[in-house]
A = this chain, B = another copy of it.
């Protein structure tokens, strides 16, 4: 359990703003929260529930009296500042990719590997703080749906295609999508700034850095590496294609998963329906399935289109080893801010700050 203040670093960004709203929703007293951002945001304020917090600068000494620090900053900022917050004794949850693959840093989705968190917490209570990494949004959303299947049947191979909202690239990207859409409707060609390709009425290969040798972009490599780390399974095969779509804030994934043990569709559905943090939206009669609009603003990952893979035969018992799903999750909530707050909450960091 951590006393001291709760700092949200990158508080003016899409993830930081969402963290503040989630803290407010969990009954955290705003007088116990410090909103931190870069020098150029000083003088601004940000909302937290019905309160408003003045931005304080990210600067030496800013973590004094901070017991918990949730970073919604980019990897370069996190790489520099998370260690300082740890050094100041804080429990740090970092949303960026900076420390995710560091073997000394736990990478956590509470519903998936919360046990690691409790172990890490016990080990760490020396004079120094603790650093926990929040996985990539696509990894979190994927593993929320597939971990129950792994636990029940084993998962051997995952092929997935993403339909990713622009929110993953921040508020500027969301503004760009709206502005470009208006331009196109007005008959004026859109001028891309945040993305290299036009985002309105278009679809493009994910904008993360491309590895010219493997041909994988950064998002795809993160899904592979983080899945293996979180599942502690270096053998799981992952074949991702990451694509941006003109959606504001929830990610969609089309998944085909090959299990280690065969199952019936009913068995798969029963396991998914009982999983934590998910909601089944799977009405074949009404053709009603998950969409990013249905997922936006929700905490749960929506799961639907659950079906036997028509490319895989059935065995004699009517079971098959390959199933397909369509899932959606709010990239800013469970894909980022909510997962980070859940980690802090599970570590007991929020208890003293509750009203």
Contact = CB atoms under 8 A, between A and B. Distances in A.
Contacts of A210: 284-285, 287
Contacts of A198: 291, 293
Interface of A: 157-159, 161, 163, 177-178, 181-182, 185, 196-198, 201-205, 207, 209-212, 214-217, 220, 224, 237-241, 243, 245-248, 252, 254, 256, 265, 284-285, 287-289, 291-293, 304-312, 322, 324, 326
A204 B291 contact: yes
A204 to B, nearest CB: 5
Contact of A181 (B159, B181, B293, B309): B181
* Among all A-B residue pairs, the 10 with the closest Cβ atoms: A215-B307, A161-B161, A239-B311, A237-B311, A241-B254, A161-B254, A212-B284, A205-B289, A202-B293, A204-B291
Q: Which of A247, A248, A287 has the most CB of B within 10 A?
A: A287
A120 B12 CA distance: 66
Contacts of A312: 237, 239
A246 B201 CA distance: 6
A185 B181 contact: yes
Contacts of A197: 291, 293
A15 B198 CA distance: 26
Summarize A's interface: helix, strand, loop or mixed. mixed
A169 to B, nearest CB: 14
A319 to B, nearest CB: 16
Contacts of A304: 205
Contact of A204 (B240, B243, B289): B289
A182 to B, nearest CB: 5
A243 B238 contact: no
Given A185-B182, A293-B201, A163 B215 contact: no
Q: Which of A178, A185, A305 has the most CB of B within 10 A?
A: A305
Given A196-B287, A305-B205, A311 B247 contact: no
